[in-house]
Amino acid sequence: MERLAIYIISDSLGETGEQVARAVVSQFDIKDYEVRRYPYVLDMSFLKEILGECKKDNAIVLYTLVDLELADYVKEYCKEENIPNIDLVNPVMDAIISKTNLTPLREPGIIRKLDEKYFRRVDAMEFAVKYDDGKDPRGLAKADLVLIGISRTSKTPLSMYLANKNIKVANIPLVPESPLPKELFEIPSKKIVGLTNTPDKLNEIRQERLKALGLSSNANYASMERILEEIEYAEEIMKKLGCPVINVATKAIEETAGLILEIMKEHGLELYKDRK
């Protein structure tokens, strides 16, 4: 038997076509075969060149092309030249169209882009957990954004929310008795956003927090005197750093996050969702 040649023609990596080809070949007792993968076939001239080689090689063609012009050309060329060919994408796409009446994006390599976006998000969320609440100040230099503020100013929820936007966030609590990490003063101030709250709102939130923990609501943590002291201390630090400050008292997490994203854009900080 002559050597079996299978050509995989794709507008992305061609991994799907190759996996299908090898899975099917494994069902036969074939030792002499070759699977050739041609990725990123995005123009007609390149496609014609590949098909010319395919004809010489007497090969089978498997293709994953979302561009209808390219896919139709492969189909017609192979029909004229009597080349066995299988379209692995468009018949499935047509079936989905018939069921949903939706229009496909027909964007090459979109699943790979989605995978990359997913892994960036996971990476950002792991980063937010690792560098939450000042656990490791070495993370400040690696962060896209650093949030600072006294207790109960939504630092952690905002860090996780922004991580879902693929932004790596570290946050540092401002406590008068605790020295600030030197790394905080070594990063550009445009990467820092301060968070604050009104005394009354903080008093209310902290009292509820103490109750949830089974502690007395009269603890110093929730006293107005202590809260005013912390707010004053935080304002001094934020002024020294020269960072923008957001009062979260009347804002939902989504609203505050939107303001932070606008600040990042104004400061020229690159957002992952804007990257191509």
pLDDT over 70 (residue 276): no
pLDDT given for residue 272 in this prediction: 58
229-260 pLDDT, tens digit each: 999 999 999 999 999 999 999 999 999 999 99
Give 114's pLDDT tier (boundaries 50, 70, 90): low
- Mean pLDDT confidence for 179-199: 96
Q: What is the DSSP letter of 217?
A: T
Global pTM value: 0.63
State residue 270's pLDDT score: 72
- pLDDT digit string (tens) for 211-231? 888 888 778 898 999 999 999
Q: How confident is the model at residue 274 (pLDDT cuts 50, 70, 90)?
A: very low
In words, the CATH class of domain 113-271 is alpha beta
pLDDT digits (tens, 9 = 90+) for 49-74: 999 999 999 999 999 999 999 999 99
Average pLDDT, stretch 165-193?
Answer: 96
Residue 219 has phi, psi (to 5 degrees) of -60, 155
Q: Which CATH architecture has domain 4-108?
A: 3-Layer(aba) Sandwich (3.40)
Which regions of the chain carry the CATH code 3.40.50? 4-108, 113-271
- The β-bridge partners of 60 are 6
Which residues have C-beta within 8 Å of that of residue 260, sequence separation ≥ 6?
A: 145, 158, 162, 193, 246
Q: Are the beta carbons of 256 and 154 closer than 8 angstroms?
A: yes
- How large a percentage of the chain has pLDDT more than 90? 81
Nearest to 166 by CA among 261, 26, 237: 261
Q: What is the pLDDT of residue 1?
A: 65
What pLDDT band is residue 105 in, cutting at 50, 70 and 90?
confident
Residues of each annotated binding site: 149-156
Binding-site residues for ADP, in ranges, read 149-156
Residue 150 phi/psi, 5° resolution? -75, 175
pLDDT tens by residue, 136-154: 999 999 999 999 999 999 9
**More confidently predicted of 246 and 207:** 246
Question: 61 or 111: whose pLDDT is higher?
Answer: 61
Cα 73 to Cα 85: distance, rounded to the nearest angstrom: 12
Cα angle 104, 107, 111 (rounded to 5 degrees) comes to 95
pLDDT tens string 7-25 = 999 998 899 999 999 999 9
pLDDT value at 275 more than 50: no
Say if residues 63 and 8 touch (Cβ distance below 8 Å): yes
Per-residue pLDDT at 103: 92
DSSP per-residue string spanning 56-123 = HHT-EEEEE---HHHHHHHHHHHHHTT--EEESSHHHHHHHHHHH-PPP---TTHHHHHHHHHHHHHH
How many other C-beta atoms can be found within 10 angstroms of the C-beta atom of residue 69? 9
Share of the chain above pLDDT 70, in %: 96
